[in-house]
């Protein structure tokens, strides 16, 4: 039994499959991420290492250069950028999207290279974060006429920071400010240290031992365990001045517990310093003090959903802002994406309307026009299902491919309808005309479909970062053409029957 005969004898099978392809394609749109351009698979890794008090040259020589040298041997790395500033080293590693090595293996190798690098003992543990393709999603300003930059930063840290970080799809948050935290400065007196036979390391060890959280046990409440800790941190100047750092032992006398105690204030001056503001790096909004916050998105996240969540958080926060403090959105990439997508959707609708009018003008009959036109929504909706299966997204390139495909998907159906019409005009019965016309043209339909698909195959072998964009365009177009070819051999003869 030929395919044409099967479709005519089992019409419900063809109709159900066609309707299922259309419906499941619409449902897949719910799970497809919407982006401006296809996802760049060139993930990036951000490495941050802090070493408080170190000069930029020290950071460069003792941290940045060592990390960069260690990463150069990692396969799958495309580009390494390092930035050294006072007390902080920032290294951005971009992975090669065309590498044959899996990105997960490359990330593991990067973590191993960083952890095995010998760093200064006073440096903090490296913070390694996978950020994906860095794209600025959203930025806003927190500004005020009456509040100081420090007050703006404090409000952001207490009320907005954790909410924004909890949004899935946000890789990093950049705050444009250079405000140092309040500090307690300890100025040691070398002569007094020598007098009491103390070293700087003794003072450091005492302070390190003080700033700890010590576990002492746990309690169980309603079958839920709670860890008990003792916080030994000291924040006040008097408490730090009265830290015991040793005992005074006189020469020629035996050591005993009754020797005078040495306090930190005996060998150092302890002072409290307020936060410092670098006015050169401060942000301003309409001439007023402002705090500029930018959100960097993950490549895998849906930018529209992320920006909508940010907008919701800011809208709720505006109701609870202190007097004189305001929030203003500076950049919303989600709005730009939605505007661009809507423009392309309008283009798709206009293109479909023109195709319908042209088909009706040349075919001359409503029924003959409906048969090729009905393939347009089925092909476009079915393509969405395959985009989800292939891990693609709805973006400018895939939508533009659908615009082009609208003119291609009706070709096969038009050829089938016209060939069947020829047999009808010769006086054949409807069934004979459908069977004979569809059978004779089926080989031609297969040839046309495969020829169109073959044109796009070479793009799959393109290399480079931007090849990923063109590949998604051609794959989307090829899927539309393949679906139209199948419909021309199944649904179109059935609708002509």
Task: Please report the DSSP string for 104-155 in residue order.
Answer: HHHHHHHHHHHHTS---TTSPPPEEEE--S-EEEEEEEEEESSS-HHHHHHH
- Give the tens place of pLDDT for each residue, 278-328: 444 567 777 788 888 888 877 666 788 888 899 999 999 888 888 888 898
* Domain spans, the chain: 3-31+365-496, 42-132, 133-182+274-333, 183-273
Mean pLDDT of the chain: 81
Residue 246 gets the label, from left (phi > 0), alpha (psi -120 to 50) or beta, of: left
Q: What is the pLDDT of residue 27?
A: 92
Distance of CA 419 to the CA centre of its chain: 51
* pLDDT 10s digits, 134-169: 567 888 988 888 887 778 888 888 888 888 888 887
The rounded distance, in Å, linking the Cα atoms of 143 and 145 is 7
> Rounded distance, CA 169 to CA 306, Å?
6
How much is the pLDDT for 487?
92
* 423 has pLDDT over 80: yes
Phi, psi torsion values for 470, nearest 5 degrees: -70, -30
**Other Cβ atoms closer than 10 A to 375:** 28
Q: How far apart are CA 80 and CA 95, in angstroms?
A: 9
Same fold, 3-31+365-496 and 183-273: no
Q: Residue 47 has which token pair?
A: 């490495």
Q: What pLDDT does 257 receive? A: 55
Task: Output the CATH code of domain 42-132.
Answer: 3.30.70.1430
- CATH C-level class of 183-273: alpha beta
Are 114 and 106 spatial neighbours (Cβ–Cβ below 8 Å)?
A: no
Q: Report how far apart, in Å, the C-alpha atoms of 422 and of each of 179, 358, 398 are.
A: 81, 20, 37
Tell me if the domain spanning 133-182+274-333 has CATH number 3.40.50.300. Answer: no
pLDDT higher than threshold 90 for residue 385 = yes
pLDDT for the residue numbered 384 = 93
Q: Which two tokens stand for residue 375?
A: 């393939």
| The pLDDT value given to residue 248 | 65
Supply the pLDDT for residue 421.
Answer: 86
**Is 141 buried (19+), middle (13-18) or exposed (0-12) by CB count in 10 A?**
buried
Given a contact cutoff of 8 angstroms between Cβ atoms, the answer to whether 145 and 305 are in contact is no
Give residue 280's pLDDT. Answer: 44
Instruction: Answer whether residue 133 shows pLDDT above 70.
Output: no
β-pair partners for 79: 94
pLDDT tens digits for range 187-214: 888 888 888 888 888 887 777 776 655 5
User: CA of 75: how far to CAs of 28, 98, 103, in Å?
Assistant: 36, 12, 10
Indicate the DSSP class of residue 460.
G
Top-level CATH class of 3-31+365-496? mainly alpha
270-282: string of b/e by CB count within 10 Å (b at 16+)? beeeeeebeeeeb
């Amino acid at each position: 039994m030929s395919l044409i005969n099967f479709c005519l004898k089992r019409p419900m099978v063809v109709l159900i499959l066609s309707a299922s392809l259309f419906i499941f394609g619409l449902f897949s749109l719910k799970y497809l991420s919407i982006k401006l351009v296809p996802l760049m698979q060139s993930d990036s890794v951000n490495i941050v290492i802090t070493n408080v008090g170190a000069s930029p040259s020290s950071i460069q020589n003792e941290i940045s250069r060592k990390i960069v040298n260690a990463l150069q041997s990692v396969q799958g790395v495309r580009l390494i950028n390092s930035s050294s500033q006072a007390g902080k080293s920032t290294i951005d590693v971009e992975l090669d999207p065309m590498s044959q090595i899996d990105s997960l293996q490359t990330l593991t190798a990067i973590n191993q290279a960083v952890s095995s690098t010998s760093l200064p003992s006073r440096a903090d543990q490296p913070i390694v974060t996978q950020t994906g393709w860095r794209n600025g999603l959203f930025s806003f300003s927190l500004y005020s006429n009456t509040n100081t930059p420090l007050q703006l930063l404090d409000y952001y840290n207490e009320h907005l920071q954790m909410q924004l970080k909890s949004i899935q799809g946000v890789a990093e948050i950049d705050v444009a400010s250079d405000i140092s935290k309040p500090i307690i400065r300890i100025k040691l007196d070398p002569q007094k240290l020598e007098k009491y036979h103390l070293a700087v390391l003794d003072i450091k060890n005492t302070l390190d031992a003080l700033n700890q959280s010590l576990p002492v046990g746990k309690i169980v409440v309603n079958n839920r365990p709670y860890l008990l800790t003792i916080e030994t941190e000291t924040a006040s100047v008097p408490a730090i001045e009265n830290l015991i750092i040793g005992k005074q032992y006189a020469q020629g006398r035996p050591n005993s517990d009754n020797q005078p105690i040495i306090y930190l204030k005996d060998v150092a001056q302890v002072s409290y310093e307020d936060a410092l503001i670098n006015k050169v790096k401060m942000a301003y909004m309409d001439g007023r003090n402002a705090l500029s916050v930018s959100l960097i998105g993950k490549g895998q996240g849906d930018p529209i959903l992320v920006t909508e969540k940010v907008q919701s958080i800011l809208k709720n926060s505006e109701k609870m802002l202190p007097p004189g403090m305001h929030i203003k959105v500076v950049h919303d990439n989600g709005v730009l994406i939605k505007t661009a997508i809507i423009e392309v959707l309008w283009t798709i609708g206009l293109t479909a309307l023109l195709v319908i009018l042209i088909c009706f003008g040349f075919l001359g009959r409503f029924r003959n026009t409906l048969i090729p036109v009905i393939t347009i929504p089925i092909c476009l909706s079915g393509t969405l299902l395959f985009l989800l299966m292939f891990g693609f997204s709805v973006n400018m390139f895939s939508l533009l491919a659908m615009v082009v495909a609208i003119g291609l998907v009706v070709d096969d159906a038009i050829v089938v309808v016209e060939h069947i019409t020829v047999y009808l005009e010769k006086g054949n019965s409807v069934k004979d005309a459908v069977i004979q016309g569809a059978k004779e043209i089926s080989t031609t339909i297969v040839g046309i479909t495969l020829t169109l698909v073959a044109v796009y195959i070479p793009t799959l072998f393109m290399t480079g970062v931007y090849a990923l964009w063109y590949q998604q365009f051609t794959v989307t177009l090829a899927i539309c053409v393949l679906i139209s070819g199948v419909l021309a051999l199944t649904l179109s003869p059935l609708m002509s029957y």
